[in-house]
Amino acid sequence: MTLEYSGPSTGGATVTVPNNRLCTGIQPAIPPAAGCTCKDLNGNTATTGLLAEYYAGYFNDVQSFFTTNTPGVTRTDNIVNYAASNGWGAIVPPASNTLADPDLYSARWTGAINIPVAGNYTFYLSSDDASYLWLNNAAVTATPVSGSATVNNGGLHGTTTVFAT
């Protein structure tokens, strides 16, 4: 799974969304990184990174999986750039199935992307099996609908990149 973007603030280059652009006010209080300008929905300075939740089992493109199951591991991920098997790192304590078989877990990241320069941006999701990116109002519902995803890379498949501007 990788999350990349391109646009005016990247000089048009496609890059992995960097840590200083990812933020959330959802996870437990962690001091913001220097230069973090992210705000949570209440206008408070947010923490850097995304809230990452790892679940045992595959969600089979059913978004309610994440609201009807309990994550085995919750942590802050500073970047979504896991290009290799087991690239998501050592999950401590290990989530059920993650170390034995990385195909039998699901992950959900929540937070915001701070875009400092206005303009058109293209977002890219590369994943082995389903991945989705919701932006703006479609992202704030408790159980987002797959059809409202800005980038829909759903279904069972080998590593595939899907993008939207």
Q: Give the other-Cβ count within 10 Å of 39's Cβ.
A: 14
Average pLDDT on 118-136 reads 93
Q: What is the pLDDT of residue 103?
A: 56
Q: What is the pLDDT of residue 30?
A: 46
**Can you tell me the distance from the alpha carbon of 70 to that of 101, in angstroms, rounded to the nearest whole number?**
19
Q: Tell me: the pLDDT tens digits for 29-85?
A: 444 455 555 665 566 666 778 888 888 778 889 999 999 999 877 888 888 988 765
Q: Of 144 and 25, which is predicted with more confidence?
A: 144
The number of CA neighbours under 13 Å toward the Cβ of 94 is 10
Contact 111, 22 (CB under 8 A): yes
Q: Is the model's pLDDT at 100 over the cut of 60?
A: no
Residue carrying the six token digits 């980038």: 151
